Structures are given as C-alpha cells and as structure tokens.
C-alpha cells in the first residue's frame, strides 16, 4: 500500500510538472478505496440523531484551505480563517474548522499541495484537479456519505442541475460535490442598443439580423463613426454568430451524432461572410483588430458608438461608466440576437460549474463537510424568517456569503428565482416576496436607478429591473429551450488542453483576415484543414472519447 501510494504520488507529480493534466489511472487502487468506505461511514452513523444537521458529541476538527475573497469586509478582528461562519460551525455542529493556508493563487498552491501530498481534509478543486485526484486515489468516495447526510435542499440543488452533478462522478460514484453556480440564466448573449439614439430615430426592435445591420447603418448616418463595437479577441463579435446558427467555441453534437467543434462548422463560414460584408460597409469598428476590451469600451463610454454585442453584465462594465459620462438616457438595452428569418437564435450554453468540494482520503470525518454544506444552503435559502436579521446579516452581507471556500454550494436556480421575485416586487410595489439579501440589493438598486439615476446602480437595473431586463430575455430563452449545451460538461481532455491555445490562435488569426477582407471567405475551408492538421482532429477525437456516446 505504501509503495503504491508513493508510486501514485510520483506519477501525479510528474504529470503536474509536465502539463497539470490528468495522469494515467492506477486501477489497482480502486478496490482498496471501496472496501475502506463502509467501515468508516457506519462508525460515525450512530454518533448522531439528525444526520443532516445534528451536532457531534465530541469536537471534530477538519482542516481546509481557502482563497481570500478580497471584497468581503469583516468586523474588527475577524478574517477569512476566523469569522461568523467558522464560529457557527463550532457552535452548531461542534466542528472545529482549521485553515492550513490562504492564497489567492489557489490553483497553483493547491497543485503544490497535491504533489507534495499535504492535502487538507476538505477543499475545493477545479475539474482537472478532480480527475487527477480520482486517478491518484487521494480523495474519498462520497456517494454513501452524500446519500446519508445531505439535506433535501442540497439534494434538490443537484437535481436542478444533473449535468453538473454527474460531472463530479466517475463510474457512478460521487467524488466531488459540484459547488454549482448562480444559474444558466446568466449565459445568454445579446445585442445591446443605445436607447436614446434608437428612440430619436424612431427605430423598432430588431426582428432579423438584417434589422440589426440597418439600425447600425442608421446610427452611423446620424452620429458618424462605425456601427458596432467589438474587440480583437473576436469574443464579442462572435456572440452574434448564433444569428447564422453557428456556435463558435462550443463542442456540440454534429449531424452524425459525433461531437464537433462549432468554430469550424460550415455555419461559421456564413457568419464570417456576413461579418466581412459588414466590415466593408464600415459597420464593424475598422480598428477592432488592435483593440482590447478596455479600448473597445472606450468609444461606448465616450458616446461615439451605439451598439455592442455583449453578455448580460453590460450594465456593470461599461454601463456604469457610460451612464456617468452620458447620463441616464444613454443606457443600452439588450435584445435577443435574431436570425435571418426572424426567429430568435439558438443560444450557446457553456459548462457552468467551476469547482467541486472534495474530501481527502485521509480525513477521519468525511461526512462533516455535508453538515456544513447543508448549513450554508439552509442559511442562504431558508434563513430569511427563521434566523434573526443580525445573524443573517453577519453571515451574508458585505460579501460574507463568499468567504466559506469549500463549504459552499450555490443554488443553481438562485438567479432565476431572484429575478422572478424582483420583477414581481417592482411590478406590484409589494416587497414581501423579497427573501434574500441579493433580492433586496437588486430591488433597491433598480429603484435607485429609476428615481435618482445613480450610475453605479446601472448594472442591477439593466440586469433585472429595467423595462427590458437582460434576465427577462434570458428567462424566455431558458423557458423555451432555445439553446444548445456544450458537450464538454466537465474536465477538459488533455489533448484539448495541449492544443487548445494554438488552435484558437490559428482560428482567430484566420477569421480576422477574412473579416478584414485580406482573404476571401473561401479561405475558411483552408483554415479548417489547417486547424485539423494542427491538432484539431486529435482534440476532437479526445473530446469524443471523453464525452461522446
């Protein structure tokens, strides 16, 4: 056993040095892990009355590691290792949480801890680290513990996003509890259009992608300059690609059932042809190829351009600065990106779960973390009304909700529910439905923007409180299933990690040439061949092996 462990850690170390990617699995370890589990679990079982929330008789100490949330502000004397949450863990569950280290370069530091075999009991990892740790047999199989100790609410979170839940499993066994996300509602993309310009010219909402083009042309006629602000990464321009049914960056099921890469599909060629045409007409910023994110936004903030393909958070950046500079009427409103024939485009949805909570194999109380996760979910979702205002404020406000590192699982429906409650309250002026501090913040800031035009409230207003809220459109997309999900729902295969950035640069360079007219649109076919030869085929095969069928 010792030998195997040493060997595994050696293998793991080597793989970390080379690529930080998953190493070859040592299947001989699997059996030992399974046989250890039942004993340990049953030992603890009779220690408690209520498995989900009951306290331990004897103090249980668990070690963890965390990163520091720079935005949280603690009361005097507290910090990320000593705060209201940590005290509650001790008081309510008799669990003593000790933080071994704190670092904002968390992944680097954790990789070092993994390779030097100095793992804490409970910690959070990314998808690649999860695979490594399972391969190296360093983390606990949490399947039984989860069934026994997770609260119904926590189990509900997992059901709400089964895809993420399954990404924490290997061969049907649960190793990493996904920490989840605010919800898919934050993923759809929009074309943002400056409202006072649009009203001044009495333009109607864009129904087809040609309307988008025509609005841009009208803006240019009236205000000069170019029509649409995008940057050199093509990230923002490519949000529009769904208008031609192209899904750049998405690994999607092709017609033959195999997974293919969206950026090299024929639909992308159509989109590029349209971009090239727009560029020729001066609609796309002629200098986009040398503009980064900040430079792209500069002309938006300065009031020189009135359209921008963007995510739902336009209102935070560049929205806040735009309103500061140009006034309240200069806000941009989001519109769903339409297709050529007037139907709403199919949106691209990416893998949303970033991290997993895992338990070291050496931990004596693998179930302790479940109690703390239950507690987090309870406070966030049910606390309002059941706990005192002071208690909740101490645990959640001023970003205290984000300081708990591995002991956090988000409700994957939280933004969706939040939006429903906020719009309801804004409509009816009845605030009784606002049950979380997040809801109150969105509500208050939306009201604040409408009343006082406070620039810093722009983000929350445009996301949730405006007459055309981004989340309103997103809700429509989700409710009508107008999206495809990436097939890459979990760790990225090693081949893709190795070739990924080279392949992306290749495409970005080629696409830019096509858009700027330096190459004809047919250059796309040549580019795809080059992409395949440069590792694209290999990456596609790896993705199919990992996620196909």
Partner 1 sequence: MVQDRSLSRRAFLVFNYIFLLLTSVLCILPFVNLLAVSFSGSAAVSAGEVAFWPVDFTTKAYEFALSGDRFITALWVSVERVILGTAVNLILLVLTAYPLSKTKSKVMGRNLYMAFFMITMLFNGGLIPTYLVVVKTGLINSIWALILPGALPVFSMIILMNFIRGLPEEIEESAVIDGAGPLQVLVRILLPLLKPALATVGLFSIVGHWNSWFDGIIYMNDMSKYPIQSYLQTLLLNFDEIMMKSGTDYTELLSKMNARTGRAAELFLGALPILAVYPFLQKYFTTGLVLGSVKG
Q: Which positions lie near partner 1, rule CB under 8 A?
A: 13, 16-17, 68-71, 100-105, 108-109, 112, 115-116, 118, 182, 294-295, 297-299, 301-302, 313, 316-318, 320-322, 324-325, 396-399, 401-402, 414-415, 418, 436-438, 441-442, 445, 454-457, 459
Question: Which residue stretches of 94-208 are H helix?
Answer: 106-115, 127-135, 143-149, 152-160, 162-167, 195-200
CA gap 127, 21 in Å, rounded: 10
Judged by beta carbon, residue 143 or residue 324, the one nearer partner 1 is 324
Lookup: tokens for 234 = 């093509």
Q: Are strands 347-349 and 483-485 parallel, antiparallel or unpaired?
A: parallel
CA 55 to chain centre: 34
| Residue 530: CB atoms within 10 Å | 15
Judged by beta carbon, residue 311 or residue 547, the one nearer partner 1 is 311
Judged by beta carbon, residue 16 or residue 252, the one nearer partner 1 is 16
Cβ 240 to partner 1 shortest distance, Å: 22
Judged by beta carbon, residue 49 or residue 70, the one nearer partner 1 is 70
Judged by beta carbon, residue 253 or residue 295, the one nearer partner 1 is 295
Cα–Cα distances in Å, from 54 out to 89, 184, 367?
11, 33, 12
Judged by beta carbon, residue 115 or residue 263, the one nearer partner 1 is 115
Cβ 455 to partner 1 shortest distance, Å: 6
CA gap 451, 328 in Å, rounded: 11
Q: What are phi and psi of 259, to 5 degrees?
A: -80, 130
| Residue 148: CB atoms within 10 Å | 16
Cβ 108 to partner 1 shortest distance, Å: 6
CA gap 206, 216 in Å, rounded: 11
Cα–Cα distances in Å, from 304 out to 173, 196, 307, 312?
55, 13, 10, 21
CA gap 335, 195 in Å, rounded: 11
Cβ 474 to partner 1 shortest distance, Å: 14
Cβ 410 to partner 1 shortest distance, Å: 9
Cβ 463 to partner 1 shortest distance, Å: 9
User: Which of helix, strand or coil describes residue 437?
Assistant: helix
CA gap 378, 393 in Å, rounded: 14
| Residue 448: CB atoms within 10 Å | 16
Cβ 102 to partner 1 shortest distance, Å: 5
Residue 130 near residue 176 (C-beta atoms within 8 A): yes
Judged by beta carbon, residue 176 or residue 315, the one nearer partner 1 is 315
Cα–Cα distances in Å, from 387 out to 26, 83, 235?
48, 18, 44
Lookup: tokens for 62 = 């668990």
Cα–Cα distances in Å, from 484 out to 40, 164, 191, 479, 488?
42, 15, 19, 13, 12
Judged by beta carbon, residue 460 or residue 494, the one nearer partner 1 is 460
Judged by beta carbon, residue 289 or residue 320, the one nearer partner 1 is 320
Judged by beta carbon, residue 129 or residue 436, the one nearer partner 1 is 436
CA gap 448, 454 in Å, rounded: 6
DSSP state, 413? T
CA gap 349, 185 in Å, rounded: 10
Q: What's the angle, vertex CA 419, arms to CA 417 and CA 422, rounded to 5?
A: 110
Cβ 13 to partner 1 shortest distance, Å: 6
CA gap 339, 346 in Å, rounded: 9
Judged by beta carbon, residue 33 or residue 324, the one nearer partner 1 is 324
Judged by beta carbon, residue 173 or residue 398, the one nearer partner 1 is 398
Cβ 392 to partner 1 shortest distance, Å: 12
Residue 185 near residue 478 (C-beta atoms within 8 A): yes
Cβ 402 to partner 1 shortest distance, Å: 7
Cβ 56 to partner 1 shortest distance, Å: 27
**Contacts with 488 (C-beta within 8 Å, 6 or more apart), sequence order:** 251, 351, 543, 547
Judged by beta carbon, residue 316 or residue 523, the one nearer partner 1 is 316
Judged by beta carbon, residue 33 or residue 103, the one nearer partner 1 is 103
Cβ 103 to partner 1 shortest distance, Å: 6
Cβ 343 to partner 1 shortest distance, Å: 30
Cα–Cα distances in Å, from 241 out to 250, 251, 263?
12, 15, 10
Cβ 52 to partner 1 shortest distance, Å: 25
């Amino acid at each position: 056993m010792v030998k195997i462990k040493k060997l595994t850690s050696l293998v793991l170390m080597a793989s970390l040095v080379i690529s930080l990617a998953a190493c070859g699995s040592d299947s001989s370890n699997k059996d030992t892990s399974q046989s250890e589990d039942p004993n340990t679990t049953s030992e603890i079982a009779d220690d408690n009355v209520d498995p989900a929330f009951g306290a331990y008789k004897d103090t249980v100490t668990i070690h963890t590691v965390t990163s520091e949330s720079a935005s949280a502000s603690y009361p005097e004397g507290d910090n990320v290792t000593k705060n209201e949450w940590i005290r509650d863990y001790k008081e309510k569950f008799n669990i003593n949480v000790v933080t071994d280290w704190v670092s904002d370069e968390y992944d680097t530091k954790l990789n070092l801890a993994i390779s030097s075999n100095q793992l804490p009991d409970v910690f959070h990892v990314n998808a690649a680290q999860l695979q490594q740790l399972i391969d190296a047999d360093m983390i606990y199989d949490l399947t039984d513990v989860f069934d026994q100790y997770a609260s119904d609410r926590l189990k509900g979170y997992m059901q709400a996003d089964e895809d993420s839940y399954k990404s924490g499993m290997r061969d049907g066994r649960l190793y990493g509890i996904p920490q989840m996300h605010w919800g898919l509602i934050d993923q759809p993309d929009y074309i943002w259009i400056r409202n006072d310009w649009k009203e001044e010219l009495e333009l109607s909402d864009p129904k087809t992608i040609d309307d988008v083009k025509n609005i841009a042309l009208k803006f240019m006629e009236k205000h000069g300059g170019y029509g649409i602000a995008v940057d050199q990464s093509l990230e923002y321009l490519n949000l529009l690609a769904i208008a031609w049914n192209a899904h750049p960056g998405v690994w999607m099921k092709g017609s033959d059932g195999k997974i293919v890469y969206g950026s090299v599909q024929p639909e992308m060629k159509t989109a590029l042809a349209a971009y090239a045409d727009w560029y020729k007409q001066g609609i796309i910023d002629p200098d986009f190829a040398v503009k980064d994110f900040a430079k792209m936004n500069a002309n938006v903030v300065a009031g020189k351009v009135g359209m921008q393909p963007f995510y739902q958070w336009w209102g935070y950046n560049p929205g806040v600065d735009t309103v500061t500079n140009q006034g309240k009427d200069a806000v941009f409103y989001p519109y769903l990106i339409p297709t050529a024939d007037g139907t709403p485009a199919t949106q691209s949805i990416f893998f949303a779960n970033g991290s997993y909570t895992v338990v070291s194999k050496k931990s004596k109380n693998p179930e302790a973390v479940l109690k703390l996760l239950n507690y987090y979910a309870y406070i966030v979702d049910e606390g309002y009304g059941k706990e005192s205002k002071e208690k909740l404020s101490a645990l959640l406000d001023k970003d205290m909700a984000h300081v708990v590192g591995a002991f956090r699982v988000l409700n994957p429906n939280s933004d969706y529910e939040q939006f429903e409650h906020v719009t309801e309250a804004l409509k009816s002026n009845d605030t009784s439905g606002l049950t979380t501090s997040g809801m109150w913040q969105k509500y208050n800031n939306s009201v604040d923007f409408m009343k006082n035009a406070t620039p810093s409230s722009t983000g929350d207003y445009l996301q949730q409180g405006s007459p055309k809220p981004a989340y309103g459109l997103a809700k429509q997309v989700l409710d009508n299933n107008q999206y495809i999900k990436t097939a890459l729902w979990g760790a990225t295969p090693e081949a893709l990690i190795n070739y990924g950035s080279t392949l992306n640069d290749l495409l970005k360079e080629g696409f830019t040439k096509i858009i700027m007219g330096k190459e004809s649109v047919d250059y796309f076919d040549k580019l795809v061949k080059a992409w395949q030869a440069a590792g694209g085929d290999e990456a596609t095969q790896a993705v199919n092996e990992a996620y196909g069928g």
